[in-house]
Structure 1
Amino acid sequence: MTEWTILGAGALGCVMAGLLRQRGERVALMLSERHRSHFHPSLDMITLGGRHQLIQTQPRFAEQARQAECLLVFTKAYQVVDALTGLQQLPTTAPIVLLHNGLGAAEQVQELFPHNPLIAGVSSHGAMKEGDWLVRHTGKGETWLGPLNEAAHAWAHLVKPLSAALGHAEWSEDIRLHQHRKLSINAVINPLTACHNIRNGQLLEPRYADVLEQLSEEVFQVMANLGETESQDAFRRRLQQVIELTATNYSSMHQDLVHGRKTENDYITGYILAHAGTQPVPVSSQLYREIKRRGG
């Protein structure tokens, strides 16, 4: 049985740790220095049914990276490179699975760890942090893994235990498709909810109809230029479905902005701007600048 080492003890990382432990999987949490003197040995996870469950995991620190068998990275996109830089003792046999929002960090990770199997992951599970070592599982979703380099192809079997723990996990040789489809949703919901200080579901109110339509059009066209084959109607239906399913949730970018944290603006809306080419993207540009102005 592979031990899963989770880097990034935020809401989703902790929920994933909890779901894996519930299935009897071995899980270690790779912690930062600030946790060394006050790490709580038990993680309290509130399940989808509202029950509290205490989750026991093995605490690890950077100098113990050589013990990692499989590394799941749940940090923010802008933290990925710095967090991994401290893990140079990671065995070259250990796969690195990137499960952060946005795109743009994988190329740097490949330079840092050229010999490790590098896997991209996309998950639509919902999670919320409610306190120190208290997290809530807010929604079940799909999880996809796929190879980012040749060495990763040998690790498709990871999806079997993940599927048992998460309810769904599949391997895709075209993981970029799933990354683009998740990013296209995030590039609409996250900046709008962050800038307007609203829950996801409020985007369906009439007052946001015009800006939602304009931003959706911009994001769809950029993704189409990148090779996305999904029709515009299909994209709109998927966007509406996600908004409805997460109606009571606050987006991660909203929460980061509200709590004065750096956002993933550069890896979500910034990715749209970087790949727009000659296509006008005025709404994306305005939202990007506004989030930057507010410190995100």
Structure 2
Amino acid sequence: MALKYTVIGSGAMGLRIGILLQEHAGVEVDFVDGWEPQVSTIKEQGGAFVSRDGEGRHLVPVNIYSPEEYKGTPDVFIFFEKQMLLGDMLERCAHFFNDKQYAVTGMNGMGHIEKLDKYFNPDHIIGGTALIGTVLNKAGDVDFIGESGAGSMNFANENETPDDTTHQIMDDFEKGNMNPNLTTNFQGTLMAKVVFNSVINTICTLFEIQMGQFIDFEGAEKLSKQLINEAYDVCERAGITLLTTRQEEWESVEHVSRVTNPLHYPSMYQDMSKGRNTEVDYINGYIYDLGKQYNYEASTHDFIRNLVHLAENSRKFNK
């Protein structure tokens, strides 16, 4: 029997994943979002406008709701909420959760699993990461970055034991053209993307550049490896085995920036440019704080985190 999905946090990535599932996997998808302009605009339009690399803009029918009005009973929830907004969003959505449902995450950073554990059976939680670029131009208008099939996703069950439903979800994501990879290394899967974002998201945000512009810099490898090496030092002390070696992590940064998404502005930049607070505390800050637990000072990550907060604070002087 086909699974029914509901995307919670229907911004850029939430819309992309849900639309790919309903268009290519042929499954039923609802969307829930806490940002009122997104909900009202999509309802008024009769769907979301979708482009690919700025071209071919067209309207895709989307069923979207606020948390308070949603009454659906999906089999699987897909979470793409911002880390700092997730706790409030879960409270607003709690009335339509039940103990049989699965929760799949594709969120940036760390801190969300502990929140999801309060609402879902840990045996039904699948942590995921996405190397897929997407931009929300404005409410109800999303741009898929990269050719069809570009990018990939990694997933792992929190209990590290895939079941039949997990494999059915992966099959739907495969049909959705998202190139999912299922592992049995939960922490290592999530942390690999945190390390990636700790390089790309923060540096591109601070200098207001695309990923391709970063990788064009002759010192990009040196900058990247300083952050990667610190993060791997932290993970080794915490007993976390990442999916890739240090060199492979750098090669991933290099390939995605140069080949897959060179024109992409990372999500942290999108937040900064629109006056929203960033998720840096859940990325570089998380790496630094984890290191402190094991008497390791990931000082470059702390320095980068504070630079991003300085940039956030500086906005008040531009008004």
Q: 1:266 to 1:190 in 2, by over 3 A?
A: same
Q: 1:165 to 1:279 in 2, by over 3 A?
A: same
Gapped regions of structure 1 (runs ≥ 5): none
Do 1:220 and 1:235's aligned partners in 2 also have CA atoms closer than 8 Å? Answer: no
Give TM-score, length-normalised by structure 2.
Answer: 0.83
SS of corresponding position for 1:190: helix
Stretch of structure 1 that moved more, 248-257 or 166-175: 166-175
Do 1:159 and 1:171's aligned partners in 2 also have CA atoms closer than 8 Å? Answer: yes
Shift of 1:176: 2.4
Gapped regions of structure 2 (runs ≥ 5): 314-319
Shift of 1:185: 0.7
Shift of 1:65: 4.4
Do 2:205 and 2:269's aligned partners in 1 also have CA atoms closer than 8 Å? Answer: yes
Matches within 5 A, 1:70-89: 70-89=76-95
SS of corresponding position for 1:112: coil
Which residue, 245, 250, 261 being the options, matches 1:231? 245
Do 1:31 and 1:60's aligned partners in 2 also have CA atoms closer than 8 Å? Answer: yes
CA distance in 2, matches of 1:235, 1:280: 21
- Render the CA deviation track for 1:182-211: whole Å, top value 9, x for unaligned: 111101111111122222223231365654
Aligned to 1:288: 305
User: Are 1:143 and 2:153 counterparts?
Assistant: yes
Which residue, 253, 256, 259 being the options, matches 2:268? 253
Q: 1:203 to 1:31 in 2, by over 3 A?
A: closer
Aligned to 1:193: 204
Shift of 1:150: 8.2
CA distance in 1, matches of 2:183, 2:246: 23
Identity of aligned residues (%): 20
SS of corresponding position for 1:262: coil
Aligned to 2:316: none
Matches within 5 A, 1:1-296: 1-23=2-24, 24-32=26-34, 34-35=36-37, 37-38=40-41, 39-40=43-44, 41-47=46-52, 50-63=55-68, 64-89=70-95, 90-114=97-121, 117-139=124-146, 140-149=150-159, 153-156=163-166, 157-204=168-215, 205-206=217-218, 210-226=222-238, 227-228=240-241, 230-244=244-258, 245-276=260-291, 277-295=294-312
CA distance in 1, matches of 2:192, 2:311: 27
CA distance in 1, matches of 2:255, 2:90: 35
Shift of 1:151: 9.4
SS of corresponding position for 2:118: helix
Do 1:197 and 1:254's aligned partners in 2 also have CA atoms closer than 8 Å? Answer: yes
Give TM-score, length-normalised by structure 1.
Answer: 0.89
- Render the CA deviation track for 1:42-70: whole Å, top value 9, x for unaligned: 11111369433421122233243452331
Q: Structure 2: which amino acid aligns with 1:196?
A: F
CA distance in 1, matches of 2:230, 2:28: 43
Do 2:67 and 2:93's aligned partners in 1 also have CA atoms closer than 8 Å? Answer: yes
CA distance in 2, matches of 1:76, 1:143: 18
Shift of 1:154: 4.6
CA distance in 2, matches of 1:102, 1:155: 25
- Render the CA deviation track for 1:95-125: whole Å, top value 9, x for unaligned: 1111110111211221233578222122212
Do 1:18 and 1:45's aligned partners in 2 also have CA atoms closer than 8 Å? Answer: no
Do 1:117 and 1:150's aligned partners in 2 also have CA atoms closer than 8 Å? Answer: no
CA RMSD, Structure 1 to Structure 2 (Å): 2.5
Shift of 1:214: 2.5
Do 1:194 and 1:253's aligned partners in 2 also have CA atoms closer than 8 Å? Answer: yes
